[in-house]
Amino acid sequence: MPSPVTREYLEFQSNRIEAVLASHRVIARVHGGSVSPRWIRFHLAPALGTKITAVRNLGEELALALGAPDVRVMREGATLAVDMPRPDAGSVRLIPLLRGFRDVPPLTACLGLAVDERPLLIRLPSPDVTHVLVAGMTGSGKTELMRTIALSLALTNRQSALQIALIDPKGRGLAPLAGLPHLVAPLADLNSAAILLRRLAQEMERRDAEGIASPRIVILVDEALDLLMVGGKEVESLLTRIAQRGREAGLHLVVGAQKPSAAAIGGLLKANFPVRLVGKVASADDARVAAGLGSTGAEKLTGRGDFIAVASGQVTRFQAAYVSSDEWRAALARVRR
Q: What pLDDT shows up at residue 133?
A: 96
The per-residue pLDDT for 1 is 44
For residues 281-311, one letter each, b for 16 or more C-beta atoms within 10 angstroms of the residue's C-beta and e for the rest, the string is beeeebbbbbbbeebbbbbbbbebbbbbbbb
Tell me which residue of 231, 300, 310 sits closest to 278, measured CA to CA.
Answer: 310
Distance, CA of 337 to CA of 334 (rounded, Å): 5
* Domain 7-85 identical in fold to domain 94-336: no
| Residue spans of beta strands (DSSP E) within 142-232 | 162-167, 216-221
Question: CA-CA distance, 99 to 95, in Å (whole number)?
Answer: 6
Dihedral (CA of 146, 147, 150, 151) sign: negative
Q: Is the pLDDT of residue 66 over 80?
A: yes
Report how far residue 81's alpha carbon sits from residue 83's, in angstroms, rounded to the nearest whole number.
6
Rounded mean pLDDT, 172-191:
94
Q: What is the pLDDT of residues 205-235, one digit of tens each?
A: 999 999 999 999 999 999 999 999 999 899 9
Mean pLDDT for 93-104 is 90
Evaluate if residue 98 carries a pLDDT over 50: yes
- Pick from 142-146, 263-267, 286-290 the range whose average pLDDT is largest: 142-146
Enumerate residues 6+ apart whose C-beta is below 8 A from 126. Answer: none
Amino acid in position 313: G
- 268-308 residue pLDDT tens: 778 899 999 999 998 888 898 899 888 888 888 888 899 99
Q: What is the pTM of this model?
A: 0.88
Contact 297, 57 (CB under 8 A): no
Taking only the tens place, the pLDDT of each residue in 231-258 is 989 999 999 999 999 999 999 999 999 8
Write down the domain spans for the chain.
7-85, 94-336
Q: Which CATH superfamily is domain 94-336 in?
A: P-loop containing nucleotide triphosphate hydrolases (3.40.50.300)
Domain 7-85 in CATH 3.30.980.40: yes
Average pLDDT over residues 190-208: 97
Residue 4 has a pLDDT of 65
Task: Answer yes or no: are the C-beta atoms of 302 and 280 closer than 8 Å.
Answer: yes
* CA nearest to 220, candidates 119, 124, 318: 124
